[in-house]
Amino acid sequence: MEYLLLIYGNEADEAKMTEADRSAMHQEFGRFTQSIQQSGNLRAGKQLQPVATATTVRMRDSKRLVTDGPFAETREQLGGFYMIEAKDLDEALEIAERIPSTRWGSVEVRPIVPMRS
């Protein structure tokens, strides 16, 4: 079963991090990514540009509405994701809790609809 781990954090706080803290965080993320790659759980994972770069598209009455910004303004913003393979929700949660930013942000775990052949 595949799960998407959506990584939320407060961009404003993260922007205030010192260079040393930021590099320590990147290293920690790197070690985490490597560990779930080695365990065979990793499908994909990326960091996103800040929400300031987000654009939202809607189609209404066959007309395209393009707006600046994310779908919804929230206190924490989606900053990245991992797509993983796990045998059940418990395993997915075990992996999610090891994501470094769970200590200051939050991670939403979403099951992915299985592909029907």
Cβ-contact 79, 8 below 8 angstroms: yes
Q: Which is nearer to another protein, 21 or 88 (by Cβ)?
A: 88
Q: Which is nearer to another protein, 19 or 90 (by Cβ)?
A: 90
- Give the strand pairing for 77-85 and 42-47: antiparallel
**Which residue ranges make up the site for another protein (CB under 8 A)?**
1, 87-91, 93-94, 109, 111, 116-117
Q: Which residue, 97, 80, 88, 115, is CA-closest to 3?
A: 88
Q: What is the spatial distance between Cα 9 and Cα 78, in angstroms, rounded to a whole number?
A: 7
Q: Which residue, 31, 12, 33, 20, is CA-closest to 79?
A: 12
User: What is the nearest approach in angstroms of another protein to the Cβ of residue 31?
Assistant: 20
User: What is the nearest approach in angstroms of another protein to the Cβ of residue 3?
Assistant: 8
User: What is the nearest approach in angstroms of another protein to the Cβ of residue 98?
Assistant: 13
User: What is the nearest approach in angstroms of another protein to the Cβ of residue 21?
Assistant: 29
Q: Which is nearer to another protein, 55 or 117 (by Cβ)?
A: 117
Q: Which is nearer to another protein, 36 or 77 (by Cβ)?
A: 36
List helix spans (H) across 3-88.
11-15, 19-38
